[in-house]
A and B are shown apart, each in its own frame.
Chain A
C-alpha cells in the first residue's frame, strides 16, 4: 500500500511516517507550503508550517530513506483559510482556522493530490483513531487524552476516513518523543506548535488588518441594556469571553458577551452574563453519514481541549443541532466548533451559531 505522509517538520508527523514504514507501507513524504512569509526576518514563533520546518521534514525523510516533496498550496490556503479567517472576524465570529486547514487543505487539496499521485491513503500526525465496524468507519478520540485532536477532525466523511491513517492515535506523546529520540530525529525536542502558523507573533487583530488591507473600524461598547460604555477598536479585536485588552475601567470586571457586525458594537457584561445552557450549531456533519432522527444524550465540546460536557442534542431538519447542557457553559463562541461524543466515539460536529 502506498501512503502519502503529511510531514509538518514537527515530531509527531515525523514519527507517524516512521511508524508507517515499520508497518510495511510504501511511504512518500510531503510538506505543504501554505503561505509566503512576507518578511524573512519576521519572528518565527512556535508554529507548524514554515519553510524551515520543511527543512526539518526533509531531514527526517532523508533519514527514513523515503521520497519527499514540498507541495505549494499557498493559493488554496489563501482562499480556503485566510479569506474565511478574515471574513469571520469581520463579521463578528471567531473562526477556527486550524479546522478549516484540516478540512480544506489536508483532507481536501492534499488528499486529492495523494490520489493523483497514486497513493492509496493519506497519513497525518494527528492524535485520533479510525476504526472500522460493520462496514462503517468510526472516528475515535486518541488514547492519550492530553493530546486528543478529534475535535479538529469532526468533519471527516466516510470516504475521507477510508483513505486516512492516524498512526499516532494509539500512542502517548511521551512514547512518540521517545521514538523520535531513539531514531535521532532532528526535531525530537522541538516544542509543540501553539500559535496560528500565519500569525507567528500572536497578534490576530493585526493579522486581520494586514490580510484584509483595512484597519478595524472603532465602534461602541454597550452594556446588556444597550447603554454605551465606551469605544472599541474594531470588532476583530474581540472574542466572546474576553476580559483583557478592553481598555475600560469599571467597578466590576467586564467580559465580551456578544459582537454585532451589523451595528459594529461589542456588548460587555458581568461574568454571569457569559453563561448559557443552550447552544446551536449549524452546517452539522455526522461521521456515520446519517443524522439521528431523535434527540439523544451525549457529551459535547464547544472549544478545543475543553472537557466534554453532558448535554441533550436535538437534531433539526435544517442541519442545525440544538444543545441543552446539564450545566451552564461559559462563553459559547460563534464560529467555534461544537463536537459531540459518545464515550470515545466522535458522533459529529458543526459550527456554533
Chain B
C-alpha cells in the first residue's frame, strides 16, 4: 500500500488542473506581452485565470497578483505594508510566534531595518485571540499578520475577528492563507483581510505559482524589477499555464469545499481517536479548531525522524514539522511555541490527509503508527529510562 499523508507539504495535481494547463504548454505558448494572436490568447487566459481566482475569493481581479508561490506572496505582503507604514513613520508589526518562516524571516529582515516586531504568544491549544491582537496594536503599528491556519498543527485562527480589530484600529491585516485556501471559506468582502497569500500546490494546483491578494488602495511593493507585467507589481514573463492550473484547482476545491470538509473531518477524528490510544502521546493543537485533514501528534521517547523513515518503509508518506527546512528536521518552532518541551517536540508526526482518504487508509495509518512507535520505543534507551522511572514522563499516559 502507498499512502500519501503529507498533503500539507504538497498535493498531487488534480486531473482538472492538468487538463486546463495542457493547451498553454503546447498550443498557446505565446508570451502574454506579445502583440500577435498567440500572445494575446495567452494574455486572455491569464486574465481569465485572474478573474476566476478573484471570484473564488469574492474579490476584484485587480486585487490579484500572480507570484511564484506562498513564500513570495508572504514576503511581498509584509514588505508592502512595511513600506506603506514607514512613509507614515509607523514601524511596528504584530504577528505570532508560530508563523511560517516566510513570514518570520521577513519580519527578522524588517527588524534589522529598524522595525519593531511583537510576536503574540500562542496558547497551548495552538490559538491566538483577537484580544491579544488588539492589546498588541500600538500607535505606530503598520501591520498585523496572522496565519489563517497553521501549517504544522493545523489550528484555525480567528482571522475574521482579528481582521475586524485591525479594521477598527486602521491597521493593515495580512493573513497567510496558504494552508487554509480550498479548505476554509475565504471572502474578501465579508472578511477584513487587506493582504492574503495563496499557494497553488497546496490545493492540487501546480508548484511554483501563487497569488497575493492586495485590497484596492494597497499597492504591492515590487520585489522583482524588470518589465511591467502584473501591472508593474511583479516583473517577469507570466507563468500562464500555472496560473490557469491554479484557477482550475481553486475553483474545484471551493466548489466541493463543504462536503469534502465534512468527510475529511470525520476521518481526521477517527485517526485522532486511534492514535490517542498510544500511551504517552498527545495531540498537538486544538481538537476542533483545526484543518479538516490535519493530525499532529507527539510521542514520547522516540525521534520523529526514525518514525518517518520507518513509516516510509511501510509505504506511508508523512512528515515531522514542516518540510521547508532544507532536508532537515529541527525541533519545530511551532511545537515549542505551544509549549511542548524540546524532547517531545522531536518526536512529532504530522499526517495530513488528502481528499481521497478513506476509512481503510485511516485504520492502516493507526495500525502502522502504533506498531512503529512501539518498535522504536522498544529500541530506545531513552524510553527504557522513562519506563524504569530514571527519567520522568513529560506526557500523560
Residues of chain A having any CB pair with chain B under 8 Å = 33, 36, 51, 54, 58, 69-72, 74-75, 112-113, 115-117
Contact = CB atoms under 8 A, between A and B. Distances in A.
B330 A117 contact: no
B328 A70 contact: yes
A36 B306 contact: no
B328 A33 contact: yes
B187 interface: no
B327 A54 contact: yes
A95 B381 CA distance: 26
Interface in B325-374: 326-331, 342, 346
Interface residues of B, number: 15
Interface of B: 305-306, 309-310, 326-331, 342, 346, 376, 379, 381
B329 A69 contact: no
A70 B309 CA distance: 11
Contacts of A117: 306, 309-310
A71 B305 contact: yes
Contacts of B346: 75
Contacts of A36: 330
B290 to A, nearest CB: 26
Give the 6 A-B residue pairs with the shortest CB-CB distance, closest first. Answer: A70-B327, A72-B329, A116-B306, A72-B328, A33-B328, A116-B379
Nearest to A115: B379
Given A33-B328, A51-B327, 4 more contacts: A33-B327, A75-B342, A116-B306, A116-B379
B249 to A, nearest CB: 31
B330 A74 contact: yes
Contact of A116 (B310, B327, B330): B310
B306 A72 contact: no
B208 to A, nearest CB: 21
A51 B310 contact: no
A305 B376 CA distance: 40
B12 to A, nearest CB: 22
Majority secondary structure, A binding face: helix
Contacts of A58: 327
Contact of B379 (A33, A72, A74, A112): A112
A113 B381 CA distance: 12
A74 B327 CA distance: 13
B376 A51 contact: no
Contacts of B381: 112
Nearest to A36: B330
Contacts of B328: 33, 51, 70, 72
12 contacts: A36-B330, A51-B326, A51-B328, A72-B329, A72-B330, A75-B331, A75-B346, A115-B379, A116-B306, A116-B310, A117-B306, A117-B310
A41 to B, nearest CB: 13
A113 B310 CA distance: 11
Contacts of A113: 306
A70 B346 CA distance: 15
B104 to A, nearest CB: 15
A72 B326 contact: no
A72 B381 CA distance: 18
Contacts of B342: 75
Contacts of B310: 116-117
Contacts of B306: 113, 116-117
A51 B325 CA distance: 11
Nearest to B381: A112
A116 B379 CA distance: 7
Greatest chain A CB density within 10 A among B330, B342, B346, B381 is at B330
B204 to A, nearest CB: 27
Contacts of A75: 331, 342, 346
Nearest to B327: A70
A88 B328 CA distance: 29
Greatest chain A CB density within 10 A among B309, B326, B330 is at B309
A74 B330 CA distance: 8
A70 B306 CA distance: 11
Nearest to B343: A75
A317 to B, nearest CB: 28
A117 B330 CA distance: 20
A1 to B, nearest CB: 17
A26 to B, nearest CB: 13
A75 B306 CA distance: 15
B309 A72 contact: no
A36 B329 CA distance: 11
A61 to B, nearest CB: 12
A71 B326 CA distance: 11
Nearest to B342: A75
Contacts of A72: 305, 328-330
